[in-house]
Structures are given as C-alpha cells and as structure tokens.
Structure 1
Amino acid sequence: MEDIKEKNRYSILNTYVNAISMDDTIAEVESIIKRRIPTQHVVINASKVNLMQKDKELRKIVNSCPLINADGASIVWAAKNLGIPLKERVTGIDLFNRLVELAHQKEYKIYLFGAKEEVIVKVKRIFEEKYPNLQVVGYRNGYFTEKDEPEIVKNMEESGADMMFVAFSSPKKEYWVNKYLQQLKIPFVMGVGGSFDVVAGLVNRAPMWMQNNNLEWFYRFIQEPRRMWKRYIVGNTKFVVLTYRTKAKLKTANWRF
C-alpha cells in the first residue's frame, strides 16, 4: 500500500483521504487480498470527521488505515475548498456492492457481520440468489456480549474469509475491527454501517438524481427528521465551520511563508 499512501493520500481536517476512483479502490482491495495482510478499511463523512475532532482514539484508528475513501458529499465539498484533487466520491454502500460482485467473479470468500438476525439472513439470501457462485463462509448478527467475542472471533478466523463486512454504526465498528483485526486474519475488513438495511430493503437510498447532486443526506433527513436533525443540521453546520476555519489557517500559513 506504500504507493497509494505516498501518491494519492492527502491530509484533510485532522484525518486523511485517498484521492482515488472506485475502480482504483477495487484494484487496491484485490492487492490487499493477494498479500493476505489484515487491513482495516474506512470511509469518512462529515459525521465521522466531527466525531474525530474530540475522539482522539477514533482519529488514531482511522488515520492508521492505509485506504480511506470519501463517502460523503461533504468530504468532496471540503476537498474542493481545500485544494485537494479528489477524483470522485466512493460511497460505502456502492463499494460494498461492488466488492460482493467482485467476490462472485473472483471466487473470494466473504463474511457478513452485524445488524439483526432476520436482516443479515435476508442479506445473505439476496446476495446468494443474485450471485450463484458467491461463497458466504460465515455470518453473524450484531447482538452479543463481550464474553461472546472470543468465540465469535475464532469463528471468523477459521472461516477462511478474504473479505469481511461489518455493519455497526460509528465509532463502534472502527473500535471493534481495530481491536480484533490481527486475530481475525482476514485480509480486508470494511465497516459498512447501515448498508445491510439498504440491501435488505428496510431503508431506501435517495433517487439517483439526488445522489448525483449530493443531496442523499437531505433524503435521509426528510425520511427520519427527528432522528437525523442533529446529525445533518447541527453536524453539517459544524463541518462547514471546521472547513472554513481550516481554509483560513492554510491561507494565513501560506501568506506568512
């Protein structure tokens, strides 16, 4: 991963982002799988960046990941304002779907982890019906206690999976994967948030025209305004302020130089 870290990795708002396309990302994941070195993957959006301003441990975990994609339109907007040549938005849900398709094509083994039992069973069935050659070598819902974790991790390690997708919310998924990454011995481990709910049809994605115009966040907001107002109204405002403050600091530093 040295080349991608050196050539395509940019500092942004106390974290990093790899300025690469979806296809470039897929190629990097294949390289990770071939090397068999356990690697944690993350995507960043405004909400996660806001969390990282106060949560130093989360920041450390995210920044240690060799591959960080721009999930949110907010990151694309910030990158443009800060002069970062971000190629495109690589959303977690789209990358997840592309990687499952890749697993079907290349016979990679996958493990699904998280969400409610009925949801993960449905996701497994949907993928297996769509991709007859897909090898789902393990799945586990996201409801467990700490004492269950050794057995869960052992099962994952013994599965022989090439990729694992973890459907927890942030920062739980980042903390959990970081804690057990080396024990899992799975080459590529990716947090996918609420993607299982989307695949299962419990949550609808925004129409394509809204996705193309960076309005997917607004679609989520109007679906669940009471639950999402703090994340999108308060959170996005904080993110905008953070971006402009960073831009002002960069201008001042350049002027002094």
Structure 2
Amino acid sequence: MTDHSKIMGIPVPKLTMAETVARVQAVIQAKKQKLYHIVTLNPEIAMSCQQDQELRGIIDEADLLTADGIGIVMVSRMRRNPLPERVTGCDLLFELLEAGNRRQWSFYLLGGSEETNKRAAEVMQAQYPRAVVAGRQHGFFDPSEDERIAADITAKRPDVLVVALGAPKAERWIHAYKDRLDASIAVGVGGSLDIVAGTVKRAPRIWQRLHAEWLFRLINQPSRWRRQLILPRFALKALFYKERGELS
C-alpha cells in the first residue's frame, strides 16, 4: 500500500515522478473500462476543499493525487511527513508525452484557446511523432456543448485525456463525465497547454530548482498577484491544521 502524507486532511501519496509515470503506464496497459482520474493537487484546490464539500468529494474519489506545487511539499516536510518531490501537472504532461512517444499512446487535448490548443497539438506531433493527437477541443465552449465534447472524446478513445480548463473546473468536468468517457487516464494540467504551445514561457531551470516558479510567473504575469495571496494563507492554515487522530 502506498504511504501518504496528509495535507489539510487530504491524503497525498508519497510518489516520485518516475513512480507516477509507471503507475499511469500500468493503468494504460491494463486497458480497464473505468477512467483513472489524476488530480494534481495545488494549494488553491486544497484550500477550496475546506469549504466546498462537493469539490472535496471529487478529490476523495480521484484515483491518484500528486503534489502540484512546492507549497504542498514544503508543508509535508514541516509536518515531518515529507512527500518526496513535486509532481506538477506541467511536468507530468511532458513526462507522459515522452512515454507516449515511446509507446504510441494517443492523447486528446481539451482546453486553452483555439489558437493555443491547435498550436499545442502541432508542437506535440512535431516533437513526439510516435504519440498520436487523437482529438482536440478548445476550452472556451458553452456548457450546452458538454455532451457533444464527451461523445467526441469517447469516439476517439484516447489513452490520455489532457484537461486544461484550470482548477477546479477541470476536476469538476472530469468527474461529471468520468463514467461515460472512454479514455484510460484523465488529468487536469492547468495552463500547461500554453507552455507546450510556447505562448507562455516556463520558468528557467534555475528558478524551478530554487522552487521559485511562482515568483517567475508573478514577475511575468503581474495580474496573478491576487491568486498568489492564497499561498501564505495556505501555508499557515495547512501547517497548523489538526489532522484527525492527532493529539491536542
């Protein structure tokens, strides 16, 4: 059984990136009928789960959680039950593309603008020629189109459904349709299609190693400052959160 570290009551498995990719590979090879839902847990989702019981239920029902963001990992370390490393949605997507290129997996891209979605598909086919972009759909669609999109995904039967609708919208959408989507894996990846497409620049490796990607994004996208306010609030609340079973 996989060991876990609890973050505000949410059990996050202690898995490395390599172990996560290996698990995805095993799920795809098993060709099970049930969709395998991966949630890349970030501080925003963890905080929202404290008030939003519907979202908390979705997270609890997910098949796998990963530590998306250094805040999640740092809190686990300060609580002396450390997660091994970050497994972000963006990094996971690139690792799955690498594995998919070796194993000829098929992908469906859901999210981003039409320009970003189309460009991401083109980049993927150029850089990962043995992986297949089975279908795609931009993220600016009306809820009345949900059924059509779900039917299109099922018709294309992708190994990996990449959902870039932002959190927690991606998690809600996957959960709402998971019993009807004929795909092996579904994972929310935030704005990662923008990075694949090259419309948004990712932080250089040195910033990533220093765990300062959030600062790089803030400098390059000052409009994100309101979202970043949640980070210190999350750190304080998560650090002093009393998990069930802990002594007073």
TM-score band, normalised by the shorter chain?
over 0.9
What residue number does 1:49 align with? 46
- Write the distance in 2 (CA, Å) between the matches of 1:117 and 1:236: 31
Q: CA deviation at 1:121?
A: 0.8
Query: Helix, strand or coil for the counterpart of 1:165?
Result: strand
What residue number does 1:213 align with? 210
2:210 paired with 1:229: no
Matched residue pairs, number? 246
- Write the distance in 2 (CA, Å) between the matches of 1:129 and 1:116: 20
Cα shift readout 1:177-201 (whole Å, capped 9, x = no counterpart): 0000110121100011100111111
Cα shift readout 1:178-232 (whole Å, capped 9, x = no counterpart): 000110121100011100111111111112111111111111111222x222221
Percent identical: 31
- Write the distance in 2 (CA, Å) between the matches of 1:245 and 1:133: 47
Q: CA deviation at 1:98?
A: 0.8
Query: Helix, strand or coil for the counterpart of 1:182?
Result: coil
- Unaligned runs of 5+ residues in structure 2 are none
Query: Helix, strand or coil for the counterpart of 1:183?
Result: coil
Aligned-pair Cα RMSD in Å: 1.7
What residue number does 1:170 align with? 167
- Write the distance in 1 (CA, Å) between the matches of 2:246 and 2:157: 50
Determine if contact 2:101/2:131 at 8 Å carries over to the other structure. Answer: yes
What residue number does 2:66 align with? 69
Q: CA deviation at 1:14?
A: 2.3
- Given the two structures, how large is their TM-score scaled by the length of structure 1? 0.91
* 1:1-257 matches, cutoff 5 A: 6-35=1-30, 36=32, 37-225=34-222, 227-232=223-228, 234-246=229-241, 249=242, 253-254=246-247
What residue number does 1:3 align with? none
- Given the two structures, how large is their TM-score scaled by the length of structure 2? 0.94
- Unaligned runs of 5+ residues in structure 1 are 1-5
Query: Helix, strand or coil for the counterpart of 1:42?
Result: strand
Q: CA deviation at 1:34?
A: 2.3
Name the structure where helix makes up a greater proportion of residues.
1
- Superposed structure 1 runs of 4+ greater than 3 Å apart: none
- Write the distance in 2 (CA, Å) between the matches of 1:162 and 1:150: 20
Question: Which is worse superposed, 34-43 or 109-118?
Answer: 34-43
Amino acid at match of 2:23: E
Tell me which structure has the larger Cα radius of gyration: 1
